[in-house]
Amino acid sequence: MATVTLSKPEVKQTECFIDGKWLPAASGKTFQTINPATEEVIAEVAEGDAEDIDLAVKSARSAFESGPWKNMDARDRGRLLYKLADRIEQDLDELAALESLDNGKPISDAKAADLPLVVDCLRYYAGYADKIHGQTVPIRGNYFCYTRKEPVGVVGQIIPWNFPMLMTAWKWGPALAAGCTIVMKPAEQTPLTCLRMAQLAKEVGFPDGVINVVPGYGPTAGGSIVKHRGIDKVAFTGEHLTAQIIMKEAADSLKRLTFELGGKSPNIVFADSDIDLAAEKAHFGLYFNQGQCCCAGSRVFVEESIREEFVEKVAKLNEHRKLGDPLDPQTDQGPQVDQNQFDKIMKYIDIGQQEGANMVTGGKRHGDKGYFVEPTLFDQVTDDMKIATDEIFGPVMSVLSFDNYQDLVERANNTFYGLAAAVWTRDIAKAHNLANELRAGTVWVNCYDVFDAAAPFGGFKMSGMGRELGEEGLKPYVETKTVTVSLG
Ligand code: NAI
Ligand code: MG
């Protein structure tokens, strides 16, 4: 089949979106966002800092406390979310191309995975807007007691670069359904689609100040969100080391915090599984999105009796994986997001070889332009190797062998992470027992990376605090108020 490369999408928004207006950074500074496939500059983007965040907070605060948002019926808030979802769906091809350009992900993935999940998430929470309500409470005495569910207030949202639009939707959906207002900082690597979403939100009628987006760097723009007294809650997705800084800096104002952090997720393949399917989905569960997934199945535990066969199958899939221009619809794998991530991954590939793991495929840079890394597969990895303990966040799979169920549970749980896990077996009792024993926020059985807006997602241990998606995902955006009325 002939390959077709789509024309480059137009970049329309590069400034701060504050109080419904597009503004340069107060300092006048800009930073560059890079096309990771070519290392060329796509655009200069406003570099927001404390002053811009302060302006955004004032706008979000006044939208929260006065104006049309405060007085809008919940059902009408929901209608706005539905309109935003419709608008994104209408522009799906263009948004997918912009995401692909800025992040490097294959356009086919952006169209088939990211964008549909964005639309679905916004619709799911649109339906919740008018279904958030309290209870009546039978307390002692002659009183009428009830609870109200009120928005937590102005929320600061800080997101990473691996799924820029999807992370925006996961953050905006519940916050807007609950009636909060938003100050968001997209990742410095990938600000473009979040800024476009802000423009679409304006066009469908979100009142000024409800959504503010300030692009910029972590310690400056991000840090200003974390420290600002006018922000009630921070929702963060990214690295656990950043979350530790945020937790310390938020202590001063006792902000509500939710974190969705990294992982080193065990993907466990038993000899009694459908080995072809397990290999195909293990390949998908690790290499999808260039391995840049918080829930990547990066520790693949394979029962020793089938290990060789399994490794061969994954190796074959790796060899057929097509690396190249992310805007080409035939491409399976694009570049890593930036030079830092590329360097980190190449360092771990070196470490894996030094540690004595058996490198079966990959190991090298692909091409000489762009941050492409070959799909890399290490076999005979042992639990204490760094490639088995550290989050690599790239296309590097580690296969570990097991032959004893009890050891397996201990080994799978022997990590400070606890985001996801998967089990491949035809034995239903074994699958459920493991689902109970694995210390992870999500367990997939005979599948991987199955996401749905209705299903809560988040981490045990150092993989996070709180949950996103589903009804659980609304809770951090809501305060409970108890009202007691004397009937005497
Ligand atoms: P990061 O955690 O530094 O960045 C995520 C977001 O936090 C970005 O918007 C960034 O600007 C912001 N940020 C950074 N420092 C901040 C601070 N002091 N205060 C407030 N906001 C701050 O992640 P980074 O450096 O992009 O990637 C490093 C590693 O983190 C990756 O190699 C990967 O292992 C992991 N990671 C995990 C993600 C996940 O989905 N769980 C997403 C991105 C990275
Ligand atoms: Mg960082």
Q: For residue 67, give both structure tokens.
A: 């104006």
* Residues 373-376: contacts with CB under 8 Å, at least 24 apart: 373/290, 373/335, 373/336, 373/342, 373/345, 373/346, 373/349, 374/318, 374/323, 375/287, 375/318, 375/321, 375/323, 375/333, 376/318, 376/349, 376/352
Q: For residue 113, how far is its CA from the centre of ligand 1 (angstroms)?
A: 22
Contacts of 411 (CB under 8 A, 6+ apart): 266, 301, 383, 400, 402
For residues 242 and 188, the answer to whether their CB atoms sit within 8 Å is no
Backbone φ, ψ for residue 259 (5° rounding): -130, 135
Q: 425-454 burial, b for 16+ CB within 10 Å, e for fewer?
A: beeeebbeebeebbbbbbbbbbebbebebe
pLDDT for residue 3: 47
Distance CA(128)–CA(177), nearest Å, equals 6
Partners of 43 in the β-ladder: 33
Distance CA(308)–CA(312), nearest Å, equals 6
Distance linking the first and last C-alpha atoms of the chain: 80
Q: Is 294 in the pocket of ligand 1 (CB under 6 A)?
A: yes
Q: Is 393 in the pocket of ligand 1 (CB under 6 A)?
A: yes
Backbone φ, ψ for residue 208 (5° rounding): -55, 140
Distance CA(246)–CA(56), nearest Å, equals 19
Q: For residue 75, give both structure tokens.
A: 């059902």
Residue whose tokens read 């560059």: 32
Active-site residue, 294 included: yes
Helices (H) and strands (E) in the chain, counts: 16, 20
Question: Which has the closest alpha carbon to 426: 278, 215, 249, 210?
Answer: 278
Q: Whose CA is nearest to atom 26 of ligand 1?
A: 160
DSSP 42-93: EEEEE---HHHHHHHHHHHHHHHHSSHHHHS-HHHHHHHHHHHHHHHHHTHH
Q: Is 120 in the pocket of ligand 1 (CB under 6 A)?
A: no
Distance CA(256)–CA(442), nearest Å, equals 23
Q: Whose CA is nearest to atom 19 of ligand 1?
A: 223
Q: Is 217 in the pocket of ligand 1 (CB under 6 A)?
A: yes
Q: For residue 38, how far is its CA from the centre of ligand 1 (angstroms)?
A: 23
For residues 158 and 235, the answer to whether their CB atoms sit within 8 Å is yes
Distance of CA 108 to the CA centre of its chain: 18
Report helix, strand or coil for 146: strand
Atom of ligand 1 nearest to the CA of 249: 19
Residue whose tokens read 């952006």: 110
For residues 469 and 121, the answer to whether their CB atoms sit within 8 Å is yes
- Residue 137 is inside which H or E element, if any? strand 136-137
pLDDT for residue 8: 80
The burial of 147, by beta-carbon neighbours within 10 Å (0-12 exposed, 13-18 middle, 19 or more buried), is given as middle
Q: For residue 216, how far is its CA from the centre of ligand 2 (angstroms)?
A: 13
Partners of 471 in the β-ladder: none
Q: For residue 323, give both structure tokens.
A: 């690396």
Q: For residue 234, give both structure tokens.
A: 């921070």
DSSP 86-124: HHHHHTHHHHHHHHHHHH---HHHIIIIIHHHHHHHHHH
Question: Which has the closest alpha carbon to 81: 237, 211, 235, 214?
Answer: 211
The pTM for the full model equals 0.98
- C-alpha dist (Å) from residue 123 to 84, 133, 178: 9, 19, 14
β strands within 244-374, DSSP E: 256-260, 266-269, 299-303, 358-361
Backbone φ, ψ for residue 95 (5° rounding): -65, -40
One-letter identity of residue 437:
E
Q: For residue 194, how far is its CA from the centre of ligand 2 (angstroms)?
A: 19
pLDDT tens, residue order, the chain (488 aa): 444 555 689 999 999 999 999 999 999 999 999 999 999 999 999 999 999 999 999 999 999 999 899 999 999 999 999 999 999 999 999 999 999 999 999 999 999 999 999 999 999 999 999 999 999 999 999 999 999 999 999 999 999 999 999 999 999 999 999 999 999 999 999 999 999 999 999 999 999 999 999 999 999 999 999 999 999 999 999 999 999 999 999 999 999 999 999 999 999 999 999 999 999 999 999 999 999 999 999 999 999 999 999 999 999 999 999 999 999 999 999 999 999 999 999 999 999 999 999 999 999 999 999 999 999 999 999 999 999 999 999 999 999 999 999 899 999 999 999 999 999 999 999 999 999 999 999 999 999 999 999 999 999 999 999 999 999 999 999 999 999 999 99
Q: Of the residues 99, 260, 391, 468, which is catalytic?
A: 260
Active-site residue, 145 included: no
Distance of CA 468 to the CA centre of its chain: 10
